[in-house]
Amino acid sequence: MDADLPADLRGGLEQLTQGRSHGALAQRAAALSQRYRAGGRSADAIRDHDDALAYALTRLPATYAAAAAALSAVAQARPAFAPRTLLDVGAGPGTAAWAAAKGFPTIADVRLVDDNPALRALARALLAASDHAALRHAAYAAGALAELGGAPADLVVASYLIGELAPAALARAAEVLWSLAGAMLVVVEPGTPAGFARIRDLRAQLIARGARVAAPCPHDAACPIVAPDWCHFARRLARSRSHQRAKGAALAYEDEKFAYVALAREPLAREPLAREPGARFDARVLAHPRVTKAGIAAKLCTAEGIITEVTPRRDRARYKPRIRWRWGDAVDRTAEGT
């Protein structure tokens, strides 16, 4: 799935910012960053329409890229997964809903929930301009995670949400999210040690409740990552001119680092991966492979733990496909006869 914003979402943002002072929006964005660094939640940091717009200009493209990457990994791991209903929890400007609708064309019913009125208003304006009927007719409700109920959705996404919760509330949040996931739950967090720690704890808690990992892990065993290391990935995205101006950035691109987990319910969890073309994988590449004159060394997460697998150049049968491995790829070493 493309990391860049869909044309209709990009066009909606441009229309909302038309005639606005980029300098003023950049000042708003800088103030937002300070509030977040001081430990503020979205409810504290984003107080009105201009705050919401500055947030969307500066953060929406990167969070879209992260959500799109996580959902793309789900589609790769479970090609038969064709959700019809979507619930975006802590939806903010609707970023994850846009990514899900792009990645899963079967989605026909979309619900979003957030407790920030400024972000809800912005999201509704953007959704109204969508080319996707399910997004245009999405239901967006006010509410906090702890208050959620209602019918489960095939796909539940919580993107950059649980990091705003108090540590004591994380276990309950995981239970609520899992109770609403009819088939698949996808949780995305910043690619920091703290963000990964939240993902790891949620993963362990819900595996104990019967969840099975669809991505990124190739197993349901305890996470083998040991501090100070942490599991995260990165997605590069292009910056539009308005994005660059709002962030005061010199580069025409940025790399968003994120951590995520996708958890499946039965019977989806038991779909035999070997029967799904392109879906089988027995390892995940955890860092950029190192290529030397002698060969390629790749850090992999496997069912046996974290390994660094070295493939010499002289082993041409294995070296040729592995030279194309990239950080975050799901790979099938069994297809190579290893």
Taking the domains of the chain in order of start, what are their residue ranges?
A: 7-274, 281-336
- Rounded to whole angstroms, the Cα distance separating 166 from 162 reads 8
Q: Which residue has tokens 């962030």?
A: 247
- Rounded to whole angstroms, the Cα distance separating 132 from 205 reads 35
Burial class for 151, CB neighbours closer than 10 Å (0-12, 13-18, 19+): exposed
DSSP designation for 288: P
The reported pLDDT for the residue numbered 270 is 55
Burial class for 321, CB neighbours closer than 10 Å (0-12, 13-18, 19+): middle
For the record, the structure tokens of 191 come out as 């690619």
The reported pLDDT for the residue numbered 306 is 97
The reported pLDDT for the residue numbered 253 is 64
- Rounded to whole angstroms, the Cα distance separating 90 from 215 reads 21
CATH of domain 7-274: 3.40.50.150
DSSP bridge pairs for 113? 89, 141
The reported pLDDT for the residue numbered 272 is 45
Q: What are the C-alpha distances in Å from 293 to residues 290, 296, 312, 321, 330? A: 10, 8, 9, 17, 25
Per-residue pLDDT tens, the chain, 338 aa: give them. Answer: 777 899 999 999 989 888 777 777 778 777 777 766 666 677 678 889 988 998 888 889 999 999 999 999 999 999 999 999 999 999 999 999 999 999 999 999 999 999 999 999 999 999 999 999 999 999 999 998 878 888 999 999 999 999 999 999 999 999 999 999 999 999 999 999 999 999 999 999 999 999 999 999 999 999 999 999 999 999 998 766 665 665 666 666 689 999 999 999 976 655 544 444 445 789 999 999 999 999 999 999 999 999 999 999 999 999 999 999 999 999 998 776 44
Fold of 281-336: OB fold (Dihydrolipoamide Acetyltransferase, E2P) (2.40.50)
Fold agreement between 7-274 and 281-336: no
Type of residue at 51: D
Kindly provide the b/e burial profile for residues 32-55, where b requires at least 16 CB atoms within 10 angstroms of the residue's own CB: bbebbeeeeebeebbeeeebbbbb
- Rounded to whole angstroms, the Cα distance separating 69 from 67 reads 5
